[in-house]
Amino acid sequence: MAKQRGPGAGPPPWWRHGPPWPDRRGEGERADRWPWRSTLLLTAFVLVGSAYAARQQPERAPLDVFARVLLLAGSGLLLWRRRHPVAVVFGTAGAAVLYLGAGYPYGPVFLTVVVACFGAVVSGHRRAAWTAVGMLWAGHVLVAHLLYRWLPPAGDAPASWGQEAVIAAWVAAIVAVAELARTRHEQWARQQAERAQAARRRADEERLRIARELHDVLAHSISVIHVQAGVGLALLDTDPEQARTALTTIKTASKEALGEVRQVLDTLRTPGDAPRAPAPGLARLPELVRQAASAGLTVTVEGEPPRLAPGTDLAAFRIVQEALTNVVRHSGSREARVRVQRDGRALRLRVDDDGPATGADAGGSGNGLAGMRERAAALGGTIEAGPRPDGGFRVLAVLPLRGKAEEDDR
């Protein structure tokens, strides 16, 4: 195998121009395999075709042992065209020049150069291919117009320049076809890379979505469980009935959290399946209010939520849920206000509490606020969160009534 060039290996050789040919074969079918079949078929075609051409061109030198050696050498070199494309393209061109210089008949000897040139171009050695083909044409011009007097066959006349123009056109066509094939394969490789990148991007977005879902579900439920566990422990001896209520709330919250986590994980096990339960939305605001009340937080809701697209509805619910969870965890206030308002083609969600803050991360620097911003940004909306001038904390979300994903689907 060819050694890979390290960072300090310097520029590539002068004869290499362009990236290598994108290989569609698997790892076990790359350049390590020898192209036996195609080489044998091509060799047989060249030998048979040259024998036929010799019968059609009696004025040229007859095929002898040296001619057949040159034909076999030019065709046999193609066996190395994947491993050593530069050496093969120059070798086939040199064999063809010697064949023509010896006065042997024109025929499929040029086919070996065509295949070698094609292989060199598509493997990235474009300048080598151009140079070898140019050398072949220059050698033919030299033989056909200057050296023909001293080379066989005897009495040969110079070739016409019209014939040289035809040969030059064929040379240009060979290079053009090889370059066209290379361009098509580069486009294919670029499309494959773009598709792979898009798939990785979708996978990353899906991981982020699942991480946000799990964070929002677990953070809210565990906050409720934490508060109720503290209440239950504090009242276990003095007020068993209230402790029982706290334990019931813990059981209910943990059951709901397990159900939502299972639903999220089910989407990983069976992608594409419809969820077993509908995604939460602002219609579940009363449930959030009850859960917050069980954690000792009184929530007042103002306004009626409009009809929303599923993605916007879920994002709005999670934003309110996370904002109330932050109030429970990081605010000394036991009251919060949620305002839902339609403003033109946007939905405005505002969650206020009167503070004071009770934690080092009360300013909203954790994953919860980052998740809210990601949800809003995914829909083309915005999130503003920070302390209010008159004290307390405010989360303000502005979401388009139809998110970017829904607009794209239309």
Report the C-alpha gap between 336 and 338 in whole angstroms.
7
Q: Is the pLDDT reported for residue 175 higher than 80?
A: no
pLDDT at residue number 337 = 93
Pick the closest to residue 302 from 320, 325, 281 (CA basis): 320
The 10 Å Cβ neighbour count of residue 176 is: 10
β-strands 393-400, 346-353: how paired? antiparallel
How deeply is 49 buried, as exposed, middle or buried, from its count of CB atoms within 10 A (0-12, 13-18, 19+)?
A: middle
Q: For the chain, state the CA radius of gyration.
A: 39
- The answer as to whether 219 is a domain residue is no
The DSSP letter of residue 63 is P
Q: Which residue has the higher pLDDT, 379 or 223?
A: 379
Q: Is the pLDDT reported for residue 345 higher than 80?
A: yes
- The answer as to whether 128 is a domain residue is yes
Q: Is the pLDDT reported for residue 118 higher than 80?
A: yes
Domain final residue pick, 104, 124, 159: 159
- The answer as to whether 293 is a domain residue is yes
Quote the domain boundaries for residue 320.
Answer: 278-410
The domain spanning residue 393 has which CATH number?
3.30.565.10
- The answer as to whether 216 is a domain residue is no
Q: Is the pLDDT reported for residue 9 higher than 50?
A: no
Stretch 388-409: mean pLDDT: 75
Stretch 36-60: mean pLDDT: 89
Pick the closest to residue 128 from 155, 164, 91 (CA basis): 91
Domain final residue pick, 116, 132, 159: 159
Domain final residue pick, 159, 193, 218: 159
Q: Which residue has the higher pLDDT, 2 or 290?
A: 290
Q: Is the pLDDT reported for residue 35 higher than 80?
A: yes
Q: Is the pLDDT reported for residue 151 higher than 50?
A: yes
Whether 283 and 155 map to the same domain: the answer is no
- The answer as to whether 205 is a domain residue is no
Pick the closest to residue 224 from 317, 314, 278, 288 (CA basis): 288
As a whole number, the mean pLDDT across the chain is 77
- The answer as to whether 199 is a domain residue is no
Q: Is the pLDDT reported for residue 359 higher than 60?
A: no
Q: Which residue has the higher pLDDT, 392 or 207?
A: 392
Q: Is the pLDDT reported for residue 295 higher than 80?
A: no
pLDDT at residue number 156 = 63
By three-state DSSP, how is residue 191 classified?
helix
% pLDDT > 70, the chain: 78
Report the C-alpha gap between 228 and 326 in whole angstroms.
16
Stretch 359-363: mean pLDDT: 49
- The answer as to whether 400 is a domain residue is yes
- The answer as to whether 270 is a domain residue is no
Lowest-confidence segment of 13-17, 149-153, 161-165, 171-175 by average pLDDT = 13-17
Q: Is the pTM of this model over 0.75?
A: no
By three-state DSSP, how is residue 348 classified?
strand
* pLDDT level of residue 366 (50, 70, 90 thresholds): low
Q: How many domains does the chain have?
A: 2
Compute φ and ψ for 141, nearest 5 degrees: -60, -45
Name the residue type at position 11.
P
pLDDT at residue number 365 = 46
Pick the closest to residue 264 from 299, 222, 225, 212 (CA basis): 212
